[in-house]
Amino acid sequence: MNKKSENNVIQAWIQLHRAHRQLLERVEYALKSKALPPLDWYDVLLELDREKGTGLRQFEIGAKVLLNKHNLSRLIDRLEQNKLVCRYTSAEDGRGNQIKITPAGEKILKQMWPVYRDAIQENFGAKLSPDETAGLSHALSQVLVSHL
């Protein structure tokens, strides 16, 4: 790789991280301004909503969201304290717990989505053309696929 190509890769990497951080901050601000919980809550509730029937084990949630085990455990505790999720003993393994979304969790998830969706559109979608978003999506999928 020549020096110019290497600099372009490094610059793209830096911009990706800056954009990611800035976009997440803007989404968090939008949620907070509407007195809604943080984005991490949405992510966990969404995964549980997708598995309404059986719920998920904590390690399964951890595989789907980007939180370390300790932070996920504390987050699930907070969700349970707020009656947004419930835990029950796993039928497969009596030593483990299944976690399910509650009706209150479903309600808050539905309240959060329009705010989240609008923040994505305002801070991301409105700044790029349809071709640019398609190209970015394709480029990022190439990075993800090549490293799975």
Q: What is the pTM for the complete model shown?
A: 0.85
Looking at residue 93, its pLDDT comes to: 67
Query: Which neighbouring-strand residues pair with 88?
Result: 98
Q: Which residue has the tokens 């991301």?
A: 124
**Torsion sign across C-alpha atoms 55, 59, 65, 71:** positive
Domain count, the chain: 1
Q: Rg of the Cα trace of the chain?
A: 18
Residue-level pLDDT at 39? 95
- Residue pair 48/40 in contact by the 8 Å Cβ criterion: no
pLDDT of residue 52: 82
Q: What is the CATH number of the domain that holds 137?
A: 1.10.10.10
Transcribe 119-141 into DSSP letters. Answer: HHHHHTGGGS-HHHHHHHHHHHH
Work out the number of other CB atoms within 10 angstroms of the CB of residue 105: 23
Taking only the tens of pLDDT, the chain with its 148 residues reads 788 788 999 999 999 999 999 999 999 999 999 999 999 999 999 999 999 878 899 889 998 887 777 889 899 999 999 999 999 887 676 667 899 999 999 999 999 999 999 999 999 999 999 999 999 999 999 888 755 4
| pLDDT at 96 (0 to 100) | 74
User: CB of 76 within 8 A of CB of 56?
Assistant: no
**The pLDDT value given to residue 146:** 58
Which residues form the domain of 119? 3-146
